Amino acid sequence: MKLLVIGSGAREHALCRSLSLDPDVTALHCAPGNAGIAEVAELHQVDALDGKAVAALATKLGADLVVVGPEAPLVAGVADAVREAGIPAFGPSKEAAQLEGSKAFAKEVMAAAGVPTARSYVCTTPEEVDEALDAFGTPYVVKDDGLAAGKGVVVTGDLEKATAHANACDRVVIEEFLDGPEVSLFAITDGTTVVPLQPAQDFKRALDGDEGPNTGGMGAYSPLPWAETDLVEEVMNTVLQPTVDELRRRGTPFSGLLYAGLAITSRGVRVIEFNARFGDPETQVVLARLKTPLAGVLLAAAQGTLADFPDLRWSEDAAVTVVIASHNYPATPRTGDPIEGLDEVAAQDAPYAYVLHAGTRREGDAIVSAGGRVLSVTASGTDLARARERAYAAVDRIRLDGSHHRTDIAAKAAAGS
């Protein structure tokens, strides 16, 4: 099977790494990719938001499947363009991707499907904003309606900050605050059949102890030893299957990866958000644990044959990933700094720990930073404590001037609290 993966982050590096280990994959291409992906796939230049260009590249390469990683191309209709060219695509249509592209649309689908989520108002005027903030009280939760790379949400006790963020957006969703731990649960679906993956937890704040601004994600781990054993089944029945059924009923079936961001509140599971693609950095730990070769299940989702696909097989091992971010991330990150120590990790920590690249590029013999989140250092172990130790030992070998990372990824879960 010949594959083309679209994207350039650590999520796409994790996807490409798994695909490169799949015996059914005979050729692996990625566009635009990064310096790490170049080690497992052939890179191509393409404007990832241009559906025609992606479809033309896939046709030229003779791809049997195109996997679209990030949300922006999906919302721009890139998966549709690939399918129109007669090539199976893993990823939802432009219309179904609105589940991520518009928080107001997601709320409407959830209401129609009876999916539990925070009560909310959609506001377009300062008066509506004031009323909604007043109705819910503090802490205020204010979400830009559109795509914002994980940075469009402000959760604050400060009314002025909440109002300022709301008024800076064209359309906002203001909602009730959800307490309790967060879980990311992904499901692969062909629009009818839904196959859940293993749950993971992401660390969204920039600093230890969940302090600092929201980011795209600073680390993740899986499994969740503290979660109820029937969590996946409950989310399947109350969230994932009803949402997929509702979108099919509307004539806009969702195929690809449905990501449920959940809060486990004192009143039960609630959806915080949906995404229309694999999460980053959760994918790094989920795929580290997946034993079933990846290409076949993605192709089955793209071709509508998931019902016939054998059950997924999972490793009992735990996985932890720690993101190394550039100086000043998540504000304007500094780029162009050389990254050292990657060879040392490869020599001393493989196969239990490895480095997935996000914002990196090659400059002559050097690999330099090229984005906010630069590396996702991933490790496995028989339990979370061992996986953490390995991940942080590898992190310590890497040198990137001005970089920062959290030191508490999976710490509480590993300690059993």
Q: Interacting stretch for ligand GLY, rule CB under 6 A, among 78-86, 235-243, 275-283, 361-369?
A: 275-283
Strands 65-68 and 89-90: parallel
**Complex with ligand GLY: residue 12 or 280, whichever CB lies closer:** 280
**Complex with ligand AMP: residue 297 or 411, whichever CB lies closer:** 411
Distance between CA atoms of residues 405 and 224, nearest Å: 21
Residue 323's identity, in one-letter code, is V
- Torsion over CA: 13, 14, 15, 16 (sign): positive
The neighbouring-strand residues paired with 142 are 154, 174
Member of 206, 272, 300, 319 binding ligand AMP (CB under 6 A): 272
Tell me how far, at minimum, the Cβ of 383 lies from ligand AMP, in Å: 26
Member of 78, 106, 153, 394 binding ligand AMP (CB under 6 A): 153
Tell me how far, at minimum, the Cβ of 279 lies from ligand GLY, in Å: 3
Tell me how far, at minimum, the Cβ of 274 lies from ligand GLY, in Å: 10
Member of 34, 241, 275, 284 binding ligand GLY (CB under 6 A): 275
Q: Of 360, 358, 379, which Cα lies nearest the Cα of 369?
A: 360
**Complex with ligand GLY: residue 190 or 280, whichever CB lies closer:** 280
Under the binding rule (CB under 6 A), the answer on residue 204 touching ligand AMP is: yes
Distance between CA atoms of residues 243 and 237, nearest Å: 10
Q: Of 400, 272, 404, which Cα lies nearest the Cα of 330?
A: 404
Residue 267's Cβ-count burial label (10 Å; 0-12, 13-18, 19+) is exposed
**Complex with ligand AMP: residue 34 or 98, whichever CB lies closer:** 98
Tell me how far, at minimum, the Cβ of 278 lies from ligand GLY, in Å: 8
Q: 132 with 119: CB under 8 angstroms?
A: no
**Complex with ligand AMP: residue 88 or 92, whichever CB lies closer:** 92
Member of 150, 219, 256, 372 binding ligand GLY (CB under 6 A): 150
Letters for 112-131 (x = contact with ligand AMP by CB under 6 A, - = none) are ------x-------------
**Complex with ligand AMP: residue 210 or 401, whichever CB lies closer:** 210
**Total residues in contact with ligand GLY, by rule CB under 6 A:** 7
- Give the one entry of ligand AMP, ligand GLY, none that residue 7 binds, where binding means its C-beta sits below a cut-off of 5 to 8 angstroms depending on kind: none
Residue 315's identity, in one-letter code, is S
Nearest-5° Cα angle at 185, 223 to 286: 45
Under the binding rule (CB under 6 A), the answer on residue 18 touching ligand GLY is: no
Distance between CA atoms of residues 335 and 229, nearest Å: 43
Member of 133, 141, 288, 391 binding ligand AMP (CB under 6 A): 141
The neighbouring-strand residues paired with 174 are 121, 142
- Report DSSP letters for 262-273, one per residue: EEEETTEEEEEE
Residue 390's Cβ-count burial label (10 Å; 0-12, 13-18, 19+) is buried
Cis check: omega of the bond before 338, within 30 degrees of 0: no
Which positions lie near ligand GLY, rule CB under 6 A?
150, 202, 217, 275, 279-280, 282
Instruction: State the residues that interact with ligand AMP by CB under 6 A.
Output: 118, 141, 143, 150, 153, 155, 175, 177-178, 182, 204, 214, 261, 272-273
